[in-house]
Structure 1
């Protein structure tokens, strides 16, 4: 099975009263995070942006039993050859 992706959800407020959700994902260097996705439209309340960000994260999950997985080779697959 591919590895579990390390994704965080947070809310940014670039202008007072305008909240955006942001998904960040860690790279192979655990100290480096990159923006994976962010809301285009703002939300009037922090909690609404946070809930929408969590919904965006859940859309990245194909199977709720195992969470968001990185694309690529299945480590548990039988060897070829």
Structure 2
């Protein structure tokens, strides 16, 4: 069974009223540390009008990439 990937979803407002989702993957885990180093995995090509719309779109991409129960495909 493949191990779980450490994926983060965030939303950035790059210009006022323009929201982009960004998926990032942890590339370095240090045992005993609570911080992680992330690298961008995928990002919205076009902005969304609201934070919530960008967030929902990002979750949809996560589901497409990793399945509804979080398993890698």
Under TM normalisation by the shorter chain, which class is it? 0.7 to 0.9
TM-score normalised by length of structure 2 = 0.82
Asked if the contact 2:28/2:38 (under 8 Å) is kept, the reply is no
| Higher RCO structure (Cα 8 Å, ≥6 apart) | 1
TM-score normalised by length of structure 1 = 0.74
CA RMSD of aligned residues (A): 1.7
Task: Give the length in aligned residue pairs.
Answer: 68
- After superposing on structure 2, the runs of 4+ consecutive aligned residues of structure 1 that deviate more than 4 Å are none
Alignment of 1:35-74 (within 5 A): 35-62=40-67, 64-65=68-69, 67-69=70-72
Q: Where does the alignment leave 5 or more consecutive residues of structure 2 unmatched?
A: 31-35
